[in-house]
Structure 1
Amino acid sequence: MLRKPHPLKATLRRAIAPALFVAVLTFFGAYAFLGPNGVLALGDYRRQIVQRERVYATLDQRRAMLKNRVALLDPRHANPDMVDELVRKELNVAHPDEVIVPLQ
């Protein structure tokens, strides 16, 4: 005598695979939207890029200024004013009648 399976059990057995598929799909969909690399994090990444570009622009200006100062101190053709300024600054040497005006 064969027993006929209960209709609820048969329905649940058939629904397990699609339910797992929907659960996995929902998980990955939510992760793509809310995760650390998701759609909501895109605005934060863009804000960080703008902020870092400002920092890089400032650093580029500073690098250009330092590159100019290094070029002025090249031993082959040093700028006498720059050399005099650095020597007086480093050695703290000034004549009594001189007035030192810091530029920065």
Structure 2
Amino acid sequence: MVSRRRARGILTALGLYMVAAALIAYFGFHAFNGQRGLRARHEIDQQMAELTAELVRLKAEHNQWERKVALLRPDRIDPDMLDEQARLLLNIAHPNDLVLMRQHR
């Protein structure tokens, strides 16, 4: 009788420890590999860094285009920019211009 109670007590304690260990392992695994775990956080941080770099590049390109557009505004047009754009669109050259022809590869 006494050994059965002692065995049952030991097995009950052992069972509780096993359940606790299983719960800790389950939550630990999902804390690392889960949808919102550490690995997912690292991937989100990496993606955020890439998108931030792309945003910086796009802002620089946007500023460049804003400067070019500002030079073509009707209230203060830049003669050099107007000449450049006209020659580009009309595909013409001034008689005093030196034109270099090169072969396309």
* Class of the TM-score when normalised by the shorter of the 2 chains: 0.5 to 0.7
Look up the match of 1:88.
87
Look up the match of 2:56.
57
Matches within 5 A, 1:63-82: 63-82=62-81
Distance 1:41 1:66, change over 3 A: same
Structure (1/2) with the larger helix percentage:
2
Distance 1:99 1:56, change over 3 A: farther
Distance 1:86 1:100, change over 3 A: farther
Q: Deviations over 1:13-36 (max 9, x none)?
A: xxxxxx889867754543332023
Q: Which runs of 5+ in 1 are unaligned?
A: 1-18
Whole-angstrom CA distance in 2 between matches of 1:85 and 1:66: 15
Whole-angstrom CA distance in 2 between matches of 1:35 and 1:100: 64
TM-superposed deviation, 1:63 = 0.3
Whole-angstrom CA distance in 2 between matches of 1:80 and 1:46: 47
Residues 1:33 and 2:36 aligned together = no
Q: Deviations over 1:25-70 (max 9, x none)?
A: 7545433320232111222222211111111111011000001111
Whole-angstrom CA distance in 1 between matches of 2:74 and 2:53: 34
Distance 1:61 1:23, change over 3 A: same
**Paired residues, number:** 98
Whole-angstrom CA distance in 1 between matches of 2:27 and 2:67: 53
Look up the match of 2:44.
45
Q: Normalising to structure 2: TM-score of the pair? A: 0.64
